[in-house]
Structure 1
């Protein structure tokens, strides 16, 4: 297996997931497990061995954490371990933080926590604020 720097040098300009736009200096990425959707070496999920991804759950209750196992690196579909985390916002973010401390990359910790908190925020049901009653003119 080649190094991740060599893989990045080869696929940096020719990736099928890269999305360039006019008047934007940093291209975007359409990788399915990407944390920030920026096309850069740090967050690329295809070349790194340790990958963690956060996705919204299908039942809209919590989020799903995908971790890449090192044992089945050559079988892409079987290499990911899915675990759904449910509960309150503080509880789920603490669980995610503990998963990240168990051996996954420290440089992606803040991006994973930001994405998880955005998913939690989007699932909240917001009730409209009640306005002041309008006085009738007599």
Structure 2
């Protein structure tokens, strides 16, 4: 009887599926450390529309950050990084804008929109920040 050894991740990545009996076993090793699937979040139509509007112009937010924001709006107040405090800010978008000053000169500014979450109170807000280019 052949002995089965646990393959290294590199072996799993290079593995070519075959019709042998060991193929399903070898491929299942790669998925052993994956987290279990999470329950679907039940959102009202109003909240879904709010989230769609929130992410409409978002060009900087990553997929895990999107999931964190949706969970927070849905009521999950778990702070993933309690060592950093009870406030978290995620950059949603960054755009280059032309603004007219009081003396009618144009300047270029970077306009950033952030989503701020307060894990203690459960409140959130969108904040726009402007920085000079250069």
TM-score w.r.t. length of structure 2: 0.30
Q: Which has the higher strand share?
A: 2
Which one has a bigger Cα radius of gyration? Answer: 2
TM-score (norm 1): 0.29
